[in-house]
Structure 1
């Protein structure tokens, strides 16, 4: 989540212990030319968490001292600097400066008058004259001009919560990230995953600097407290999407979930929790409708992990408590690709939920490649066939879950929500280097899987790609040069392009599908070559799979017919498309995602190596055209009805 936010600074609340220098928190570094300067971490300001950073200088040293952090900044804009500080009476001012580390040039500066020995909030603006990918933000005090008699309480400054925020942020989000997200034309945005596993909503509301610093217990790192409930829901509002909020069922309670709903949706004048929301700056209710109860509860990496029966009874308690607040809520229960789990949950709790969730990832291990060595020894063509058979894997899991729904008297109204999907070549424990999830091959697999979800739209009504930005695996929007997973790789910023925002090939596949003018699936006939994929551990049929994965759809007004075609071959395919029964105007609009290698990626040096390309193709007669489909490629072919 940090990558999507516009703050250039880390450890803004001095929440980390000393890492790089004694007495200095996290990524901050000491700067001083005094022999007796002392740095230490002390208790935070009232209602704050983390630490306060103390800096003490001696008058006799006639020195300067402070802390600094490496940042990347953009030029020609203003940054708001916010901090909490207190000081002994000799320290009357604090200098803030952004300096280019290569040239030493000061790009922007400001001075803050420190008014009290007690804690105060200070704000100022710094106008940055030029961009720098390798800058340093410095906060310094000085005894170079004013002198005093050194004693036990002189020359000291305490800092708590130091932040920078560019003026063009969009609800704390980087503007480029927001614009790229908007282009995805999403219908829903999910706040879920392991992030929510031990999340308590009160930790993410109110003034950001008063929110506690907490660990994400599932991922074992600091949770980001700046993007809480209101920030997420207003992000969804700006995008025009429905929010989906996943509640903590492991260490949370039904009462806590019900209170969260009231905080989001209740009237500010009649409900105390609605009034609390209003006091935090949001008067109008959000009317958040979709709520998911638990995330991957079947997995031992989750807080509150349990078996299906225990979860199902827990689900009933949560559903009753939440619907007591608002009977119109749409509730999602935690499903699995395991049939026994789903049947147990549906039999016990099916009448209380509207959707059963599943997470379907496509990875090597189910194709007989248990580890990295085995996968690397396998031929590239064989592994390609495995990964691009993603729709067959999803079809197997979806049909199995649909059968469980149909066979449960209590749950025949339930639909499926695929709340996480993506390629996942290797598990976290053995992944290293550049993730395969960023490749054109992954985009081809994900696009074919999108076709399968469209084909299954009678039962699958929600699909949520994981992740949006950077993330644990293969976020479709990338910020900077952090290509590897969260455990390994170079320190972000190594390329000098640490703020560049761009999309993976899968981003362009998602954009292509999301912006296609489609409303209903129409039947089609397909004749093409086939291929055999390696055997799958679940017993998924993998022989005789069509090289072309195709779905055809028509727009709501019936005037546009679109064929979504994925070439799952390593060779070009000459295709003929004919639209029988659709009187088409001359010409077709074609959108293409292709590249000359399956391992082609976008990166900070070539961020548009793989993008969506639009061109027009000639037709013969009414809706007939010939088209060369490039190897390992994705197409949307759109015909428009004749006038």
Structure 2
């Protein structure tokens, strides 16, 4: 049986074989690979990309899914430094958590949930017990417990999601947690009001992986399914109204192994578990070039194609669920996701760079478009190495800046729109398949009353763009441009404003107005529409 590290190595070997095999039998395959890796996927043309965005601002839309703006909150390290040394919420961090639009919080955080015992985090902070940091294998006081989670959710207006300890806990322990939160209830120390109920509970974290830090917690699919069934029964006996989410994964993603336990999802899904209404996926850590040291150019373009890969993987999960549980309605909860360029490589910290922010924008755009993704939670809210959207010194990293712009843009009804743009072909890399005719720009359109909001991701790092708006006879009374851009796409210094934000007013000319976009940028256009259509002039 392969553990997680061995699985990654095997996945890398498969990827390497695919790459060399693609060069054919003739010539020197190593030289051909090296030449291919050194060739930029998109070069400067000397001309701006011509983009044309077409939409009817008054067309019928669907409610935009803001639930993709959820986040993860660790119990360890004072909630990844959301809280101070006295375990009090830091006001500046709370303000930034609101700014990135945190619509839900998952707790106690990834692998940490596999060793977490919630009762040790209850009561007076000075009297709380020690929980084990699952990665460091050290114990620390449980300063950020259930009370702190729910008070933060109360302050942010966020929905809480709790991952129960299915790996080393018991069904009775999980049921007691449901009872304490949803039946007995907790009272806010801030407002004196009852704290939010937890409507959705997750049955474990990533049971299909075998973390090398905790080999004692490994289990096969049969053992997991049995425990999940026991936990679900005990928890729903306490509160029949809760929803449960079951973590699964495909054996492979685009031909690359995704688990050291082949057949895990098939065995777990073979017999439905009563009360399970959602399925948790961690299939959007992309592009995940863990097999080799790839160039930043190839990693970047693979990240820009990640939306297509994510959509294809969701389709494959739908197909598997339909096969094993006919009639089941897919309701996906992506309880962890982020731009992840590599693992164990020199390019891991690209998540911190402007490229990481734009890669997250591509993932968010795709998640908004998927009709059965009910919520998504980024990994993670703050601190947490290079993953947190908020730096521990209380400023937004590039991923946080992108989340903040999406919070401003995802308002009201999402409208159909068409963006015509030049295309590129991108190579397969990691969990991201090759993409043919990938547009160098994408867009989302939302309308609230007379206000139209357009999010435009211009992916091309080598050329600017000219964007033309085709709104038919609709006239723009006033406009505002909020833009994220950079001169150093791969700057990983982890300092403020590597992704620079600018805001300015825009007086759109009549007709089909045109706007200049810088290379590799994300732009939010906020347009106030005139109630009167534009009249033709002779």
TM tier relative to shorter chain: 0.7 to 0.9
1:621 is aligned, of 499, 510, 513, to 510
Q: How many Å separate the matches in 2 of 1:471 and 1:299?
A: 20
1:525 match:
418
1:329 match:
242
1:462 match:
375
- CA shift in 2, pair 1:365/1:514, >3 Å: closer
1:448 match:
362
Structure 1 residue 321 displacement after superposition: 1.6
Structure 1 residue 537 displacement after superposition: 5.1
TM-score by length of 1: 0.63
Alignment of 1:356-395 (within 5 A): 356-363=279-286, 366=289, 370-371=291-292, 374-375=293-294, 378=295, 380-395=296-311
2:231 match:
318
2:456 match:
565
Q: How many Å separate the matches in 1 of 2:195 and 2:328?
A: 32
CA RMSD, 1 decimal: 2.8
Contact 1:364–1:386 (Cα < 8 Å) also in 2: yes
1:515 is aligned, of 389, 408, 414, to 408
Alignment of 1:208-607 (within 5 A): 208-267=125-184, 284=194, 286-301=196-211, 304-338=217-251, 340-349=263-272, 352-363=275-286, 366=289, 370-371=291-292, 374-375=293-294, 378=295, 380-409=296-325, 412-427=328-343, 429-430=344-345, 435-456=349-370, 458-479=371-392, 500-536=393-429, 540-555=433-448, 557=449, 559-580=450-471, 583-601=474-492, 603-604=494-495, 607=496
Q: Does 407-416 or 294-303 show the bigger shift?
A: 407-416
Structure 1 residue 173 displacement after superposition: 1.8
Structure 1 residue 186 displacement after superposition: 1.6
C-alpha distance after superposition, 1:299-347 (max 9, x if no partner): 1116633333432332222222211111211211112243654444333
Q: How many Å separate the matches in 2 of 1:523 and 1:5?
A: 38
User: Helix, strand or coil: the match of 1:256?
Assistant: helix
1:75 match:
none
Contact 1:420–1:465 (Cα < 8 Å) also in 2: yes
Number of matched pairs: 439
Greater share of residues in helix: 2
Structure 1 residue 406 displacement after superposition: 3.4
Q: How many Å separate the matches in 2 of 1:187 and 1:550?
A: 22
1:194 aligns with 2:91: no
C-alpha distance after superposition, 1:563-613 (max 9, x if no partner): 221111113332333344673432332221101111235745xx2342432
Structure 1 residue 358 displacement after superposition: 0.9
Q: How many Å separate the matches in 1 of 2:421 and 2:338?
A: 26
Greater share of residues in strand: 1
| Larger RCO: 1 or 2 (CA < 8 Å, sep 6+) | 2
1:610 match:
499
2:40 match:
none
Contact 2:451–2:527 (Cα < 8 Å) also in 1: yes
2:64 match:
none
The structure that has the greater radius of gyration is 1
Q: How many Å separate the matches in 2 of 1:417 and 1:411?
A: 19
Structure 1 residue 205 displacement after superposition: 0.7
1:637 aligns with 2:525: yes
- CA shift in 2, pair 1:582/1:551, >3 Å: farther
- CA shift in 2, pair 1:431/1:266, >3 Å: farther
- CA shift in 2, pair 1:212/1:569, >3 Å: same
- CA shift in 2, pair 1:213/1:520, >3 Å: same
Contact 2:115–2:167 (Cα < 8 Å) also in 1: yes
Contact 1:505–1:602 (Cα < 8 Å) also in 2: no
Structure 1 residue 453 displacement after superposition: 0.4
- CA shift in 2, pair 1:459/1:351, >3 Å: farther
Q: Which runs of 5+ in 1 are unaligned?
A: 9-164, 166-170, 269-273, 480-499
Q: How many Å separate the matches in 1 of 2:433 and 2:341?
A: 18
Structure 1 residue 443 displacement after superposition: 0.6
User: Helix, strand or coil: the match of 1:612?
Assistant: strand
Contact 1:185–1:511 (Cα < 8 Å) also in 2: yes
- CA shift in 2, pair 1:264/1:410, >3 Å: farther
Q: How many Å separate the matches in 2 of 1:451 and 1:223?
A: 38
User: Helix, strand or coil: the match of 1:387?
Assistant: helix
C-alpha distance after superposition, 1:244-288 (max 9, x if no partner): 1110111112221110011112237xxxxx7xx899x98835422
Q: Does 464-473 or 446-455 show the bigger shift?
A: 464-473
Contact 1:346–1:411 (Cα < 8 Å) also in 2: no
Q: How many Å separate the matches in 2 of 1:563 and 1:424?
A: 26
Q: Which runs of 5+ in 2 are unaligned?
A: 1-76, 253-262, 532-538
C-alpha distance after superposition, 1:535-588 (max 9, x if no partner): 245572422211112222333x4x333222111111333233334467343233
C-alpha distance after superposition, 1:413-454 (max 9, x if no partner): 230111111122332x4568x821110001111001110001
C-alpha distance after superposition, 1:480-502 (max 9, x if no partner): xxxxxxxxxxxxxxxxxxxx321
Q: How many Å separate the matches in 2 of 1:528 and 1:553?
A: 20
Contact 1:392–1:541 (Cα < 8 Å) also in 2: no
Contact 1:190–1:246 (Cα < 8 Å) also in 2: yes
User: Helix, strand or coil: the match of 1:564?
Assistant: strand
TM-score by length of 2: 0.75
Contact 1:425–1:437 (Cα < 8 Å) also in 2: yes
1:136 match:
none
